[in-house]
Structure 1
Amino acid sequence: MPRSLTATPLDEAFLDLRAVSVLSVHLDVRVTGHVDTVRLAEALATAADRHPMARARSAPESPWSLTATWVLDAPLAVATTDDADHARELLQSELPDDRAVSVVVVRHDDGDELMFRFHHAAIDGRGAVRFVATVVDAYAGRPLPDDGPVLDRARDLRRLAGARSVRDVGARAAKIASDAAGRTGITRIAGDGGEDGPHHAFATRRLEPAVVADLRERKPEGSTLNDLLLAAHLRTVLTWNRRHRAHVGRSVSVMMPVDLRGEEDVVANLASYVAVVVPVRELEHPDSAVAAVSAQTRAVKEQGTAGWIVDVLGALRVPRGVKRVAPRLLPLVEGRFVESTILSNLGPVEFGDLAEAGAVREVRFSPPNLSPRMAVTLGVAGHDDGLTLTWRSLRRQVGARGVDDFAEEFLAALHEK
């Protein structure tokens, strides 16, 4: 196992955003039985041996160095508690020492909950799922696959998603320009007065299999279930702001992660982002909202524009000291370059059972609020043919009751016909 790794330009971008945000990727796994924490610690160590980024911590760096470095020696410990909500809020609201992975087991009478926090600079949502799957299999004593791909090659962003032709460059430049123009007069999620407490507040709702099947049945031809969720999320921003008599601009935008991995299912940070920017007039009705979202997501897939971040970040060969300062300048440009919110959809997430600890019965996931202007984000995880939706808010802007209300607004928008 390597002792250190050079951070990719994408890793560095997330490391630098720590100046303005807590970049925790949240993944909870609820089981039907009770977990042996000693056995879990052993499974974590086994999984970290297979996936070295799980031991990553950021190394001290000179402001004059051109790249950041990961040191792969951080220990993985297991803490326990019996207060699920408070534990989740505290765990996801801190990133001590920039360590890649932290774990808390919450004891419940009817089955424990394994709470994972991942530092997004080291491990993204899909990487988190892959790591937890290895932990689960190691805990249950199942055979593990061979060691994963060589990390340097698997994290080579230019190989994975760099522009291959003038056509690629043109399509990506056009996407960036179109998004910037569309963000003129962007709508920001209004605060509800907020409250004191941990940095984040959470709300979760479950869409049962019958509900998901109905949504799939009624979605317009050519659109996806994710398009329906994106459209409902955008429309929720409008209804939320109007209910709070807050400003509504000319557009609402959502940041959508796109996985840059090829076939190599590596535990690392390989999530690019694309914007879906929709004029408010197209969000007034569910049909026009879904049509507008579908047109943009199809174009992203067909034109490969998600790789824009590789080209832009790879071109920034400036000292680390300059890059670390850049996020503090976001207020100067965020009107054109920061979305209203985020929706991140992991897709189906299926884990095996944990031996005597039982089967997995629920998976929760949420992405970080990448900017102080993103008051609420939404994470989606599929499990047992249903969907679990988890909203995360910046508590000082939207408190616990407020994010719960936001979730109800979303469900109303999703089911409106």
Structure 2
Amino acid sequence: MDSLSATHRATATRSSGTLVASGFEHYMLTDESRSHPMVSYLEVGLAGAVDLDCLAAALPAAYARHPLMAARIVPRWGRSPLWEPVATLPPLAVVTDPNRHLVPQGDEFLDLTASPGCRAAIETRGETSRILLFVHHACADALGMVAFVVDWLNAYGRAKGSGGDVPPELPPPDLDRLRSRADLAGVRSPHSFAERMEKVRKILHKARPKPLAGAVGNPVPVTPPGHCIRTLTAEEFQELQARSRAVGMTINDRLACAMLRTVLRWQEEHGPVDPRDLYRLIIPISRRTAEDRDLPACNKISYKFLARTAEAIRRPDLDAKVHEELDFLRRHRLQIVNVLKMINRFQRLRLTRWLLPPTKCFATAVLSNIGDVASVFSDRLPTRDGVWETAGLRVTSLACAPPRRPLTHNTVVAIGYGGTLTLSSRGDGRGLSYAATERFLGMLTGELVGAGS
């Protein structure tokens, strides 16, 4: 482990120093509450015997490669806060009691001014284990959380493996890209200022999406993270891919359409639906490019707002219209940049809490597709049959769900891994109950698998 420690010390020296928080990161701090903290769990299933001492010793190497996961927030009056490195990092928690929680459900608010926004734990049961990464959304988005775990397992594999079982040495983290993560220079919208402000007014005040029915008033505690998980069979996923390609759609298009139809079916089961009722999805969109290959973990996303009335969801042209809207976004990416600029202005003018009160519903649900992560990070961890393997460990599954605002009662994450697609949603009772979340996810999976059949 001496070489691993030396590598960690060298990387930590290069990554030391403060960073100015971006407007989007500052927003994540402003738009949270103790009842609805901006936190996420990443759940990673492992098969094989784990050397816990070696895994714990490898954790600092991952922290060193991802500075925002190892820093606290320093507020500054009238200016953006700073990320400041801390001397003592949270250690790996080994959970041996199944009744013990990594973080109690009622105490998930992370005060980033006091400590870093990352906690790591592992539960072991014989030859199977589960890594739980608990992270504040200001520090990393879902892809950043996956990158952190991949680099952690890379360090573990390099310390523990032998021969052909040793993963490749990682290049230094691109700290220059991290410093420029919020750079939007040179991006201009073709719309006038008045047109853009009208869109903002419509999103924030004029259009009123319906919240998802059936939310729990007094949630029953569950053992965190409380992920509900559905994984398509390899055959189902291949058929979904083939049907999508046949009509020129992407998996993301299919997911968005299936989510809208599932939301409408759910509402119809819980009461009458007016054809004019509006349902809005927030779809996080990554702003990463090919140059961000070695970007450390951060939250480099923006949002796409996809809204439809009940009447529009029922129309046979829903798939074509959604594909057209999302394809325009993929080709031009203007809306996600405009949304990010809007958030930055809110923060500078201190308008976030006034414009985004917790008593208003701005989205019915959240749908995030982070793509085929095994291929994205295949240069960091070797894969076999589409899954990562290192030092006798096999990563068998991944699940995650983003945080939610008070009246957004369901969030779903899609992760491509192991030659299939996994959908996960957190049934922690802050929105739907665990049982209701399970049922909603089952309906969504059925809608997705049956799409176009």
* Shorter-chain TM-score above 0.5: yes
1:51 to 52, 66, 72: 66
CA contact under 8 A between 1:155 and 1:268: conserved in structure 2?
no
Q: Using the alignment, how far apart are the partners of 2:271 and 2:435 within structure 1?
A: 18
CA contact under 8 A between 2:428 and 2:434: conserved in structure 1?
no
Counterpart code for 2:231 = R
For each residue in 1:250-283, what CA deviation from the matched residue of structure 2 results, as whole angstroms up to 9, or x when unmatched? 2211111111123123221111111111222232
Q: Using the alignment, how far apart are the partners of 1:91 and 1:163 within structure 2?
A: 43
CA contact under 8 A between 2:409 and 2:430: conserved in structure 1?
no
Q: Using the alignment, how far apart are the partners of 2:258 and 2:228 within structure 1?
A: 16
Counterpart code for 2:57 = E
Q: 1:283 to 1:275 in 2, by over 3 A?
A: same
Instruction: Please give the root-mean-square deviation of Cα atoms over the aligned residues, in Å.
Output: 3.0
CA deviation after TM superposition for structure 1 residue 315, in Å: 3.1
1:339 to 363, 381, 392: 363
Match of 1:252 in 2: 279
Match of 2:326 in 1: 297
Of all paired residues, the percent bearing the same amino acid is 21
CA deviation after TM superposition for structure 1 residue 296, in Å: 1.4
Q: 1:208 to 1:247 in 2, by over 3 A?
A: same
Q: Using the alignment, how far apart are the partners of 1:354 and 1:217 within structure 2?
A: 28
Q: Using the alignment, how far apart are the partners of 1:364 and 1:357 within structure 2?
A: 21
Match of 1:66 in 2: 79
When the two structures are superposed, what TM-score results if normalisation uses the length of structure 1? 0.86
List 4+ stretches of structure 1 deviating above 6 A. 83-86, 168-172
Counterpart code for 1:255 = I
- Asked if residue 146 in structure 1 is aligned to residue 171 in structure 2, the reply is yes
Match of 2:3 in 1: none
Q: What's the secondary structure of 2:41's corresponding residue?
A: strand
Match of 1:359 in 2: 394
CA deviation after TM superposition for structure 1 residue 111, in Å: 0.9
Counterpart code for 2:300 = L
Structure 1, gaps ≥5 residues long: none
Q: What's the secondary structure of 1:295's corresponding residue?
A: helix
Match of 2:130 in 1: 113
Q: Using the alignment, how far apart are the partners of 2:100 and 2:431 within structure 1?
A: 18
- Asked if residue 226 in structure 1 is aligned to residue 252 in structure 2, the reply is yes
Q: 1:39 to 1:92 in 2, by over 3 A?
A: farther
Q: Using the alignment, how far apart are the partners of 1:292 and 1:231 within structure 2?
A: 10
When the two structures are superposed, what TM-score results if normalisation uses the length of structure 2? 0.80
CA deviation after TM superposition for structure 1 residue 392, in Å: 1.8
Q: 1:29 to 1:252 in 2, by over 3 A?
A: same
Equivalent residues in 2 for 1:8-407 (5 A)? 8-19=22-33, 21-59=36-74, 61-62=75-76, 64-73=77-86, 75-82=89-96, 87=101, 90=104, 94-98=108-112, 99-141=116-158, 142-151=167-176, 153-156=177-180, 159=183, 161-162=184-185, 164-165=187-188, 167=190, 173=196, 176=199, 180=203, 184-193=207-216, 195-197=219-221, 201-219=226-244, 221-245=247-271, 250-262=277-289, 263-265=291-293, 266=295, 267-284=297-314, 288-304=317-333, 305-316=335-346, 318=348, 322=350, 325-326=353-354, 329-331=357-359, 334-335=360-361, 338-350=362-374, 351-352=381-382, 353=388, 355-369=390-404, 371-393=405-427, 395-407=429-441
Q: What's the secondary structure of 2:19's corresponding residue?
A: strand
For each residue in 1:180-228, what CA deviation from the matched residue of structure 2 results, as whole angstroms up to 9, or x when unmatched? 3997342210125453215874311111221111111112523111111
CA contact under 8 A between 1:229 and 1:414: conserved in structure 2?
yes
CA deviation after TM superposition for structure 1 residue 236, in Å: 1.2
CA deviation after TM superposition for structure 1 residue 357, in Å: 4.6
Counterpart code for 1:227 = D
Q: What's the secondary structure of 2:89's corresponding residue?
A: coil
For each residue in 1:269-301, what CA deviation from the matched residue of structure 2 results, as whole angstroms up to 9, or x when unmatched? 11111111122223226x533223212111212
Q: What's the secondary structure of 1:112's corresponding residue?
A: strand
CA deviation after TM superposition for structure 1 residue 404, in Å: 0.8
Counterpart code for 1:10 = F
Match of 1:4 in 2: 18
For each residue in 1:1-43, what CA deviation from the matched residue of structure 2 results, as whole angstroms up to 9, or x when unmatched? 2232211101000011222622123211111113222211222
Larger CA deviation: 217-226 vs 89-98: 89-98
CA contact under 8 A between 1:8 and 1:155: conserved in structure 2?
no
Counterpart code for 1:187 = K
Larger proportion of helix = 1
Larger CA deviation: 270-279 vs 95-104: 95-104
Size of the aligned set, in residue pairs, is 405
Q: 1:323 to 1:165 in 2, by over 3 A?
A: closer
CA contact under 8 A between 1:182 and 1:279: conserved in structure 2?
no
CA contact under 8 A between 1:11 and 1:121: conserved in structure 2?
yes
